[in-house]
Amino acid sequence: MDGEPFDSVTKLPKPRIKVYPGFLVATTIDCLNASDSQFEILYESGISTPLGKVVLARIIKTGQCLIAGPSSIREMEKIIVKLKEHGAEKIFVDGAFSRQSTAKLSDATILCVGADRSPIMDVVVKDALSIIERLSLPGVGKHLMFLDDYSQIATIDKSGKVTRQLETSVITDLDKVMALLSCDTEYLFLPNAVTLQFAKKLMKCKIASNTKIIMKTPLNFISDDQIGKHIPLLKNRLFVLRPVNLIAVCFNPYSPRGYSFDNRKFYEKLRENIDFPLINVLEKESDDNE
């Protein structure tokens, strides 16, 4: 849930969500009834959440609104289709650090980082760079998009021959997957999660030193504090079927836990390694209020 004055878990203050007439909102009926904006229900999805069933509403009077959407990617896709059917021209999908998978539904993604991650600025910057490295993994050519329909691991040799394997996961079948590799293996397609343990084994496997890994999305590479430093070591060997289009990075120098970073120093540390547009959310808010 988002848009409530205080986080239900940490009890820390949160930004409110202001909606205006004409906005379309996908949330639960209970959240709408708890909001001070006026609305009309356009569509009842039947999708259940702990906060009630998800509906699509049009805002008819400005106010604050609570947002609680579906939890699965498939359900989110259904809601996005309905938003478009009802005339939505630009759709914002709110994610979270623990729900980065929503990025693969979007035409473009904005990464938000902030001081709340850690009181140590260097830790926040390092984490941001690690996430950007992962989200920026390149896509494969169209000739390999058929792999998107595969639910099992597949290998492709240098002649282009595709072999669908019995194994499905590097988590449960790590040794078996490594045994599939040879000096003739051009690509290894992994449909499920890719772990740091597998990445380390791959880098040590001399017989497959040129094998390229294909994942469905960058989010298949499980986030880990050590992942960021290993992705550069696998440069030109990691590819995805559905790349994330990262277009900007927002940063927040303030933490609701009571500390903050120096705006200029935080910006400069991020700018040293980030080529994307950098937007200070607090400065942007100030500009809007002037």
Is 267 in contact with 241 (CB distance < 8 Å)?
no
pLDDT at 288 over 50: no
Structural domain range at position 47: 1-85
- If one compares 69 and 288, the residue with the highest pLDDT of the two is 69
pLDDT of residue 97: 54
Q: Is residue 287 part of a domain?
A: yes
Cα–Cα distance measured from residue 45 to residue 138, given in angstroms and rounded to the nearest whole number: 35
Q: Looking at the structure, do residues 69 and 102 belong to the same domain, yes or no?
A: no
pLDDT at 217 over 90: no
Q: Is residue 172 part of a domain?
A: yes
Q: Looking at the structure, do residues 81 and 118 belong to the same domain, yes or no?
A: no
Q: Is residue 257 part of a domain?
A: yes
Q: Looking at 199, 214, 240, which one is the last position of a domain?
A: 240
Q: Looking at the structure, do residues 251 and 221 belong to the same domain, yes or no?
A: no
Q: Looking at the structure, do residues 2 and 81 belong to the same domain, yes or no?
A: yes
The total of structural domains in the chain comes to 3
Q: Looking at the structure, do residues 229 and 143 belong to the same domain, yes or no?
A: yes
DSSP 8-state assignment for residue 233: G
pLDDT at 222 over 80: no
DSSP 8-state assignment for residue 211: P
Q: Which residues neighbour 71 within 8 Å (Cβ) at sequence distance 6 or greater? A: 49
Q: Looking at the structure, do residues 227 and 285 belong to the same domain, yes or no?
A: no
Q: Looking at the structure, do residues 222 and 252 belong to the same domain, yes or no?
A: no
Q: Looking at the structure, do residues 157 and 233 belong to the same domain, yes or no?
A: yes
Q: Is residue 90 part of a domain?
A: no
Amino acid identity, position 233? L
Confidence (pTM):
0.79
Which range among 63-67, 163-167, 193-197 shows the weakest confidence by mean pLDDT?
193-197
pLDDT of residue 290: 37
Question: pLDDT tens for residues 29-78?
Answer: 999 999 999 999 999 999 998 889 999 999 999 999 999 888 788 898 89
Cα–Cα distance measured from residue 139 to residue 124, given in angstroms and rounded to the nearest whole number: 27
pLDDT of residue 218: 85
Question: pLDDT tens for residues 13-30?
Answer: 888 899 999 999 999 999
Residue-wise burial string across 226-240, b where 16 or more C-beta atoms lie within 10 A, e elsewhere? ebbebbeeeeebbbb
> pLDDT-derived band of residue 289, with 50, 70 and 90 as boundaries?
very low
Is 216 in contact with 152 (CB distance < 8 Å)?
no
pLDDT of residue 286: 36
Instruction: Decide: residue 282, CB within 10 A, 0-12 exposed, 13-18 middle, 19+ buried.
Output: middle
Q: Looking at the structure, do residues 26 and 67 belong to the same domain, yes or no?
A: yes
pLDDT at 228 over 80: no
Q: Tell me what the pLDDT averaged over the chain comes to.
A: 87
Question: pLDDT tens for residues 120-163?
Answer: 999 999 889 888 888 888 999 889 999 999 999 999 999 999 99
Q: Looking at the structure, do residues 11 and 143 belong to the same domain, yes or no?
A: no
Q: Is residue 132 part of a domain?
A: no
